[in-house]
Amino acid sequence: MKALICGSIAYDTIMVFQDCFKNHILPDQVHILNVSFLVPELRREYGGCAGNIAYNLKLLGGSPLPMAAVGQDFGPYSEWMTQCGIPQEHIWEVEDSYTAQAYITTDMDDNQITAFHPGAMNFAHGKKIQVNSNVNIGIISPDGKDGMEQHATQFADAGIPFIFDPGQGLPMFNGEELKRFIDQASWVTLNGYEAQLVQERTGLSPKQIAERVKAVIVTHGGDGSEIFTQEQSYEIPVAKPNKVVDPTGCGDAYRAGLIYGLLEGMDWKTIGRIASLMGATKVESSGTQNHSFEMTSFRDRFRNNFGYAL
């Protein structure tokens, strides 16, 4: 049972400024802003939605197939994926381009200034999903605009059910484009803010979208999540993390849980709880691919959090 994960692969360069931006940015001088922040703490992480989802699905014992365009600097990331046992046959290199990169500076108030270079991600449409693909499920996660649109159509034409997960790519699409994604998809997943934006642009609430797909999943961070189907809705509680270190990448971990549950043919009550526990597990580590677990311990945590066996 394989999942084709369309989306970005990126490097995240994370810097920590040991002060607060507000102490160095003068509100009445922002029109001539010219500041420099000393960042003695820096780390480079492997990220991108496709990479993160694939990593988390692999932890669960799934078979992820990330599909993404990368640049000439992909070598270290490729070695990491090999070490993790994640296949790379659907990843291709774009000449004279860099892998997508996010440069994130965080201050002591947890404010962030981010610069994002899409690089090879802009060429995501360069590879097609084949009708005869040996794939059971797909996901369209944030990527280049043309790539997201074309891969959704290719999934639909190939008869491969897929999750539409617009995420950070949502602002690129108008109401009609979003409706087209929804009508092609089998499932839609959004966070609370994204659900409001989709409703504003399409006129469709999560319950109304659920009438056009198999299910709509809306996450609310520390307040849990909701799953809407045509028949009913499910309130999914949060799983308790042992500690809260870094929420970055929790959404991707959650989506890996959704894919795993769908591939295993589980009920929505259980699928949502697996996804919730994946998010709680990720929040306990910095970065998006530094956490790990054995399935035995994951099953124990599931029982302890939700009162029944996985």
User: Which pLDDT value is given to residue 309?
Assistant: 94
pLDDT of 132 strictly over 80: no
pLDDT of 143 strictly over 80: yes
Q: What is the pTM of this model?
A: 0.93
User: Which pLDDT value is given to residue 112?
Assistant: 81
Sketch out the chain's domains with CATH numbers. Answer: 2-21+39-296 (3.40.1190.20)
Angle, helices 268-282 vs 295-306, to 10°: value is 110
User: Which pLDDT value is given to residue 114?
Assistant: 86
pLDDT of 131 strictly over 80: no
Average pLDDT over residues 137-163: 96
Percent of the chain at pLDDT exceeding 70: 99
Order of all β-strands in the sheet with 112-117: 41-47, 10-16, 100-106, 112-117
Percent of the chain at pLDDT exceeding 90: 83
Decide: helix, strand or coil at residue 143: coil
Please report which confidence band the pLDDT of residue 41 belongs to, taking 50, 70 and 90 as the band edges. Answer: confident
User: Which pLDDT value is given to residue 57?
Assistant: 98
Question: Tens digit of pLDDT for each residue in 263-282?
Answer: 999 999 999 999 999 999 99
Q: Are the C-beta atoms of 1 and 126 separated by less than 8 Å?
A: no
In this predicted model, which residue has the larger pLDDT, 84 or 32? 84
Question: Tens digit of pLDDT for each residue in 229-272?
Answer: 999 999 999 999 999 888 888 999 999 999 999 999 999 999 99
The residue type found at 165 is D
Nearest Cα to Cα of residue 50 among 62, 64, 63? 64
